[in-house]
Chains A and B, each alone.
Chain A
Amino acid sequence: MLLAVLSGFLLAIVVPLLHRVAGKYIGWLLALLPAGLAVYFSTFLSQVQDGPLLLEYQWLPGLGISLNFLVDGLSLTFALLISGIGTFILIYAGSYLAGHKYLARFFVIMLSFMASMLGLVLSDNLITLFVFWELTSITSYMLIGFNHEDLEARKCALQGLFVTVAGGLALMAGLIMLAIMTGSYSLSAILASSDPIHQHVFYTGAVLCLLAGAFTKSAQVPFHFWLPNAMAAPTPVSAFLHSATMVKAGIYLMARLNPTLGEGELWTMMLMGFGAVTMLTGAWFAFSSTGIKKVLAYSTVMALGTLTMLIGVGTELAMTAFICFLVAHSLYKGALFMLAGALDHETGTKDITRMGGLRKSMPVTATIAVFAALSLAGLPPLFGFIAKELMLESLLEAPLWSSLLVIATVASAMLIVGVAGLVAIKPFFGAPGDTPKAPHEAPLGMLVGPAILTIIALAFGLMPFIPENALLQAAVASVYGAPVDFNLALWHGINKPLLLSALSLIVGFLLFRAWPRIQPTLHALNYAGSRVGPEAGYFKFMEWITVVASWQTRMLQNGVLGLYMLVLLAVTFGLAGYTMFSHYGVHFTLNLADSHFYEWGIALLLVASAVFASSTHSRLGSVASMGVLGFGVALTFILFSAPDLGITQLLVETLTVILLVLVLFKLPEFVNLSTPFQRYRDLAVAIFSGVTITLIMLAVLDIQYFETISTYYVENSAALAYGRNIVNVILVDFRALDTLGEIFVLSLAAMGVLSMLKLKAEDQHKP
Chain B
Amino acid sequence: MKSNTMILHTAALLIMPLQLMFSIFLLLRGHDEPGGGFIGGLVAAGAFVLYAFAFGAEATRRILRVGPRDLLGAGLLLGLASTLPALFSGQPMLTAHWWDLPLPGGDYLKLSTPLIFDIGVYLAVLGTITSFVIGLMEAEE
Contacts and interface: CB of A to CB of B under 8 A. Distances in A.
A761 B37 CA distance: 32
A404 interface: no
Contacts of B92: 58-62
- Assign chain B's interface to a size class: 35 or more
A663 B136 contact: yes
Interface string B63-91: 00000110011011001100100011011
Contacts of B91: 58
A728 B132 contact: no
Which of the listed residues B33, B38, B49, B69 has the most CB atoms from chain A within 10 Å of its own CB? Answer: B38
Interface string A654-685: 11001100110110000000000000000000
B43 interface: yes
A515 B126 CA distance: 64
Contact of A733 (B37, B83, B114): B114
Given A725-B31, A733-B96, A754 B88 contact: no
Contact of A750 (B39, B87, B128): B128
A62 B83 CA distance: 15
A744 B76 CA distance: 7
A532 interface: no
Contact of A722 (B31, B43, B127, B137): B31
A736 B124 contact: no
Nearest to B36: A728
Given A58-B92, A736-B94, A743-B120, A750 B30 contact: no
Contacts of B107: none
B16 interface: no
A757 B88 contact: no
A659 B140 contact: no
B131 A753 contact: yes
Given A655-B46, A761-B139, A721 B96 contact: yes
Given A2-B87, A655-B49, A728 B35 contact: yes
B83 to A, nearest CB: 8
B30 A722 contact: no
B42 interface: yes
A665 B112 contact: no
A727 interface: yes
Contacts of B32: 723-725
Question: Residue among A663, A754, A760 with the most chain B CB within 10 A?
Answer: A754
B34 interface: yes
A644 interface: yes
Contacts of B136: 659, 662-663, 757
Instruction: Give the bracket for the number of chain A residues in contact with chain B.
Output: 35 or more
B96 A747 contact: no
B51 interface: no
A647 B131 contact: no
B69 A751 contact: yes
Interface string A699-733: 00000000000000000000001111101110111
A722 B117 contact: no
Nearest to B75: A743
B135 to A, nearest CB: 4
B138 interface: yes
B31 A732 contact: yes
A659 B45 CA distance: 12
A737 interface: yes
B93 interface: yes
Contact of B140 (A61, A62, A665, A758): A665
Contact of A651 (B42, B124, B138): B42
A737 B114 CA distance: 12
A431 interface: no
Contacts of A666: 140
A270 B127 CA distance: 51
Nearest to B122: A743
B129 A59 contact: no
B133 interface: yes
Contact of A652 (B35, B42, B114, B137): B42
Contacts of B131: 750, 753-754
Contacts of B128: 746-747, 749-750
A750 B118 contact: no
Given A731-B38, A736-B117, A746 B88 contact: no
B34 A647 contact: yes
A740 interface: yes
B104 to A, nearest CB: 22
Contact of B135 (A647, A723, A731, A757): A757
B100 to A, nearest CB: 10
A196 to B, nearest CB: 35
Given A651-B39, A722-B112, A750 B75 contact: no
Contacts of A402: none
A733 B96 CA distance: 7
B45 A747 contact: no
A60 B79 contact: no
Nearest to B130: A750
A648 B135 CA distance: 23
Interface in A416-465: none
B121 A731 contact: yes
Nearest to A57: B90
B62 interface: no
B54 interface: no
A643 interface: yes
Nearest to B73: A747
Contacts of B1: 662, 665
29 contacts: A58-B92, A61-B92, A647-B34, A651-B39, A651-B46, A655-B42, A655-B45, A655-B49, A658-B53, A662-B133, A662-B136, A722-B110, A725-B30, A727-B36, A729-B31, A731-B38, A731-B121, A732-B114, A740-B83, A740-B117, A743-B120, A743-B121, A747-B75, A750-B128, A751-B72, A753-B131, A753-B135, A754-B135, A757-B138
Interface of A: 2-3, 57-62, 67, 643-644, 647-648, 651-652, 654-655, 658-659, 662-663, 665-666, 721-725, 727-729, 731-733, 736-737, 739-740, 743-744, 746-747, 749-751, 753-754, 757-758, 760-761
Give 7 nearest A-B pairs by CB, closest first. Answer: A651-B42, A723-B31, A728-B36, A743-B124, A643-B34, A750-B128, A732-B114
Given A644-B39, A750-B69, 4 more contacts: A732-B36, A740-B80, A740-B117, A747-B128
